[in-house]
């Protein structure tokens, strides 16, 4: 089945810094989602982005399906951005597979 | 619009006891998923329903786990008997599914049930 990798595994930032999280997947996908898991364990939808670029406030995401990767950009990070960021990729006709996550800590 | 509802939020049981988790998906969502999340890892699919049909239960340990989605709305996941290794967070998610010939697969998650088996 599809393999989903995320990098870096851990990231520590000072408040106000920018960051880029990467998600690589080993097979063609027709769906991809980014989630933020907050310290209480809730998975919050960030982007549903099988291809192209989307922006939502300080966050944006780009998926290049032909090259099998997706990027999540966080600008002007805040302490509330701390948590674990997951990408989940879905090949056509199959289930979503989650990556191992990137644990982000934003320091005040 | 209400999100995915799960109960209980926390459950502590002794090994060999049974336990059940309940999920009510977003209204109108045809697809329902149960995931297992171990500490420090991403969620892993246990079972996927399309309406009341379990279309993929290949990852469900059927010797002790069972699930049902009567009437294609809410769902129950059961473990009997529970083992120490079942301690984890059990997540339910839903998506709209097939509508007008188009698949809408964006998943929305509930808050999860944290199970501790002693």
Q: Which CATH superfamily is domain B1-6+31-99 in?
A: Immunoglobulins (2.60.40.10)
In tens, the pLDDT along A76-105 reads 999 999 999 999 999 988 999 999 999 999
Ramachandran assignment for B71, one of left (phi > 0), alpha (psi -120 to 50 degrees), beta (any other)? left
In tens, the pLDDT along B92-110 reads 999 998 777 767 789 999 9
CB-based contact A41 B112, cutoff 8 Å: yes
- Picking from A40, A45, A90, the nearest residue to B108 by CB comes out as A45
What is the chain A residue with the closest CA to B33?
A: A95
Class of domain A4-102: mainly beta
Mean of pLDDT over chain A: 96
* Chain A: closest CA distance from residue B91 (Å): 9
The size of the A-B interface in CB pairs under 8 A is 45
Q: Residue A79 burial by CB count (10 A; 0-12/13-18/19+): exposed, middle or buried? A: exposed
| Every domain of chain A and the residues it spans | 4-102
Give residue B69's pLDDT band: very low, low, confident or very high (50, 70, 90).
very high
| Every domain of chain B and the residues it spans | 1-6+31-99
Answer whether B45's CB lies under 8 Å from B33's CB.
yes
3-state SS, one letter per residue, for A2-31: CCEEEECCEEEEECCCCEEEEEEECCCCCE
- Picking from A4, A40, A95, the nearest residue to B48 by CB comes out as A95
Comparison of pLDDT for A89 and A40, the residue scoring more? A89
The predicted pLDDT at position B103 comes to 73
Chain A residues touching residue B89 (CB < 8 angstroms):
41
Listed in sequence order, the residues at least 6 apart from A48 whose beta carbon sits closer than 8 Å to its beta carbon are A31, A32, A33, B106
Chain A residues touching residue B42 (CB < 8 angstroms):
4, 86, 88, 98-101
What's the mean pLDDT in B17-43? 96
In tens, the pLDDT along A66-82 reads 999 999 999 999 999 99
In tens, the pLDDT along B48-61 reads 999 999 999 999 99
């Amino acid at each position: 089945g599809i393999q989903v990798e995320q990098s870096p595994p851990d990231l520590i930032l000072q408040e106000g810094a920018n960051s880029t999280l990467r998600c690589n997947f080993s097979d063609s996908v027709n769906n991809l989602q980014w989630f933020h898991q907050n310290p209480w364990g809730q998975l919050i939808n960030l982007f549903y982005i099988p291809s192209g670029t989307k922006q939502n406030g300080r966050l944006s995401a780009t998926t290049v399906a032909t090259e099998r990767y997706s990027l999540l950009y966080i600008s002007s990070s805040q302490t509330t951005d701390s948590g674990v960021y997951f990408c989940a990729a879905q090949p056509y006709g199959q289930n979503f597979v989650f990556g191992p996550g990137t644990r982000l800590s934003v320091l005040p | 619009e209400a999100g995915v509802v799960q109960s209980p939020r926390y459950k502590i049981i002794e090994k060999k006891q049974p336990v059940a988790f309940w999920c009510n998906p977003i209204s109108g969502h045809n697809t329902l998923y149960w995931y297992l999340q171990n500490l420090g890892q991403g969620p892993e699919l246990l079972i996927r329903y399309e309406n009341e049909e379990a279309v993929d239960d290949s990852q469900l340990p059927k010797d002790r786990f069972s699930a049902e989605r009567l009437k294609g709305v809410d769902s129950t996941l059961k473990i009997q008997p529970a083992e120490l290794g079942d301690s984890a967070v059990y997540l339910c998610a839903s998506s709209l599914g097939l509508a007008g010939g188009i698949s809408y697969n964006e998943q929305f998650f509930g808050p999860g049930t944290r199970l501790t088996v002693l």
